[in-house]
Amino acid sequence: MLTKGDLQAIKKIAREEIEAEGENTRNDLQGEIKLARIEVQKDLRDFANRLKNVEIALRLNHPPVYLPKRNPIQDSAFSFQSQRRNHTKLTIAIVNRI
């Protein structure tokens, strides 16, 4: 028959084994997380480099497009007019200020 001291010794050994196994698992997971983070950062850098290469290729193959200059006052008045249904009073007040 097991005594109280024997049961306490078994509990102590079991607790130590569980803590050691938990520590190992935690270390393994931390290593995997760091590795995954490094891989994601590498993939992002590769993607950014490919995007830069595409932008450079587009600039070299196509001349820049110059848009006509627009009057910012007319643009703001147009945007206010397009929202007239929802904000009638606000639109009228702002257009009157312009």
**Above 90 in pLDDT, residue 37?**
yes
List phi, psi (to 5°) of 12.
Answer: -65, -45
Contact between residue 65 and residue 51 where contact means Cβ atoms under 8 Å apart = no
Residues 2 and 50 in one domain: yes
Residues 38 and 75 in one domain: no
pLDDT above 70: percentage of residues in the chain: 62
Residues 10 and 38 in one domain: yes
Residues 5 and 49 in one domain: yes
CA dihedral of 45, 49, 51, 56, whole degrees rounded to 10: 160
Residues 53 and 19 in one domain: yes
Domains identified in the chain, total number: 2
Residues 24 and 42 in one domain: yes
Question: What does the pLDDT look like over 47-67, one tens digit per residue?
Answer: 998 988 888 877 777 666 666
Write out the residue range of the structural domain in which residue 6 sits. Answer: 1-65
The Cα 9–Cα 17 span in angstroms is: 12
Contact between residue 95 and residue 80 where contact means Cβ atoms under 8 Å apart = yes
**Above 60 in pLDDT, residue 38?**
yes
Amino acid at 60: L
**Above 70 in pLDDT, residue 25?**
yes
